[in-house]
Amino acid sequence: MALAACRRYLRLILTIGNINTTYDSEFSDFTVATNILSFDYSQSKAPIINHYLSSTHSRTFAMAEIPVFPKNLKDYGYAFDDGGKLRKLDPKTMEPTNEGFDFNISDDPQYNQKRYEALGEVINQYVYELLEKEGLKRIPVPKESNVPLELRSFVFACDKAFTSKKLLILIHGSGVVRAGQWARRLIINDNLNSGTQIPYIRKAKQLGYGIIVLNTNDNRRVIKGISKEIAGSEDPHRHMQTVWRDYIQSSHAEDIAIVAHSYGGVCTVKFAIENSKEFKNRVFAVGFTDSVHDMPAIGCDHLIQFNILMADLHESEHAYAVSQREIHHIKF
């Protein structure tokens, strides 16, 4: 269909009378019950519209509405209770009830999905605040750049991250999760303890570790309506390389432990292969959780052996053997 063909274009500029109106091709549908616009395509200055619709003198369509979702949990009607579970708020008392998140609130599946994704953005900010409450601070990636801070990526680190001899690095998986999260689904449908890295951070602080929380999926910024890659954080691998180069390499850490979930394991293995000497000399333990990494048979001897080799040198140290829900201490 002509309209379907038009949607392939990033922007459509239509002239309606003397008014220039911009329509984003992100709209999945041009039909909605409100704001019906009638105009003459033959008068349009947009050649692509004339090309596809020249045989039609006039049509009527509607600009798709973009739902506006709340920017905080309270306006969504939700809050985390004392057990870290996401619960509906009682509209009268504004206290959490026993009802969890309701995905299907509309007959429109696309609306429900967009609402869920928007809630995920709210969750991102909420978890960032939790990290800050744990004493971690946001630091820019890359460290030195002419680019404004808001257009760079960032990670979270505690005050002693670069002065402590022991350092824990937390790396999440791929997808929509950001710093401090293991899984959005667990945060929303289970609780904060299983879905976030907070329990790991608290235990690391108890054991005297410095902490760095990577943000490997933070790869793009929208500048003047155009999505652009962040220099130094173009992808998860580049993000990890930049963080190590700018912060970890010059830190005082002699004993580094890494917890890597899902694709974070791929990032860890790739980094270890490309930086074998640095990795072998400083990393004494790695905990993979649901990792999807693969180790080639050649060139990875140091990865396979380093736990065994380092064991004798770190008899008093503790490493993390991590499950999705809890931390176990293992003495080497």
The residues annotated as belonging to the active site are: 262
Q: Which candidate, 101, 95, 102, places its Cα nearest to that of 81?
A: 95
When computed from its CA atoms, the radius of gyration of the chain, rounded to whole angstroms, is 25
Contact yes or no for 105/112 (Cβ under 8 A)? yes
β-sheet bridge partners, residue 227: 222
Inter-residue contact 39 to 14 (CB < 8 Å): yes
How far apart, in Å, do the first and last CA atoms of the chain sit?
A: 66
**Environment class of residue 258 by beta-carbon count within 10 Å: exposed (0-12), middle (13-18) or buried (19+)?**
buried
Distance of CA 179 to the CA centre of its chain: 6
Peptide bond into 47 cis (omega under 30): no
Q: Which of 195, 174, 320 is nearest to 331 (CA)?
A: 320
Beta bridge partners of 330: 319
Token representation of residue 100: 């969890």
151 contact partners, CB below 8 Å, separation of at least 6? 221, 223, 230
Contact 79, 70 (CB under 8 A): no
